Structures are given as C-alpha cells and as structure tokens.
A and B are shown apart, each in its own frame.
Chain A
Amino acid sequence: GENVEQHPSTLSVQEGDSAVIKCTYSDSASNYFPWYKQELGKRPQLIIDIRSNVGEKKDQRIAVTLNKTAKHFSLHITETQPEDSAVYFCAASPSGSARQLTFGSGTQLTVLP
C-alpha cells in the first residue's frame, strides 16, 4: 500500500517569511495529492491539491510542487500570517476507483508575530 512521509513535524517561522513542508510517497501509481489544514479541534480543510499531470499549482500565497520522478511534493506558503498557524497534512491517492487517501503525519506550523 501507499506510504506517505512528511517533514518537518514542527515548523516555526516569523510572520512574513515563507514556510515549506515536504512529503514523499511510495506508490508510483498515486496521481492525486491534496493538502489539508487542520486547526485545533476542527475538521481538516482542503487548501490546495495537485494531480499528477501537472508539476506546479498556485493559489494566492499557497503553492504546491510535484516531482513524480522523485515521488515527492511540497507545500509552499509565502508571506505567512499568524492565522496560517495550524497543522498541515499532505496526502496521496492512488489511481483507480477507491479514491482513498493516505495521510502524512502532519506538520505543526507556528507563525510568530
């Protein structure tokens, strides 16, 4: 089955700086890679996703890059703000109809004012 590793487990940045979170996956058949943000006690919220037919996707201050050859993908947050503080999870989904997601272990991002 799929295995997703995520680093770092914790990340502290100064407000205005950039944050980068990296994930690797094991199943070369995976073709969908979402990122979720989860605030304490709340549901995970989809913030951006990328499919295997593109290498990069951007949405305002958030971007995701995908390297299929190396089987890794990264989340980039620019101009961080205190409200970006949360736990971020990457995930990977294999092709096929199961549509299951395998999640990384999560990154606690803290943006210091």
Chain B
Amino acid sequence: GAVVSQHPSWVICKSGTSVKIECRSLDFQATTMFWYRQFPKQSLMLMATSNEGSKATYEQGVEKDKFLINHASLTLSTLTVTSAHPEDSSFYICSANGGLSNGKTQYFGPGTRLLVL
C-alpha cells in the first residue's frame, strides 16, 4: 500500500516551454501532497504544499507563477513549470501522506528529471 507514481520520469525540453509533471497516489487518497526539488548531491527542498480543492502553499522564494500547482482530486496533483529555463533543470519529487492512522508518513514518487536546453 501507499504507492505514489509520478509521470514523466524524464523530460527534456527547450527553453521557454512549459512542462507538466503528474503525481498520483495509487492506492490511497491524499488530501495533501508535497512537491520537492533536489539538485545533485543535495537535500530535498520543499517547494510547495498541495491541498486538494484549494490553493497551494508555496515556500519562501518559490515563484507561484512559475511553478503552478493544481490538486484537482484526492489522487492527483500536478506541477507545471512555466517558461522553463536551464536553471530549472533539476530532479522534482512529489510525496503524499499515506494511510489513515499514520497521517504523518510521507511516501515519495519516483521523481521526474527535468533538463531544459
């Protein structure tokens, strides 16, 4: 149980284009999902908290207009990187709180590696 999928796993795009990343909880409902960014050999940095049916909460320094988050259902959150630039190249990982009684445990998706040329 508590499986989180993410799609796509790899994406290469040209500078200026937008990229959408999907995060799905496969066997449970997640009212809250989280989006992280990880640079090589660095820790996971929380970008935003995605809440089903409401606006996402962004961490300080994260541009909400650049990283659009939509959490339209209890099993799906999407992150859209708008007008991507080479500095947006990174590993993007989502997570969801899994289970009923263990509401604090976060299960991670496999990540999406974005390369902007």
Contacts and interface: CB of A to CB of B under 8 A. Distances in A.
Do A and B assemble together? yes
Interface of A: 32, 34, 36, 41-46, 49, 89, 93, 98-106
Interface size classification for chain B: 20 to 34
B34 interface: yes
A93 B104 CA distance: 8
A49 B110 CA distance: 20
Contact of A99 (B43, B45, B104): B104
B43 A104 contact: yes
B43 A106 contact: yes
B73 to A, nearest CB: 19
B83 to A, nearest CB: 27
Contact of A103 (B43, B104, B113): B43
A99 B46 contact: no
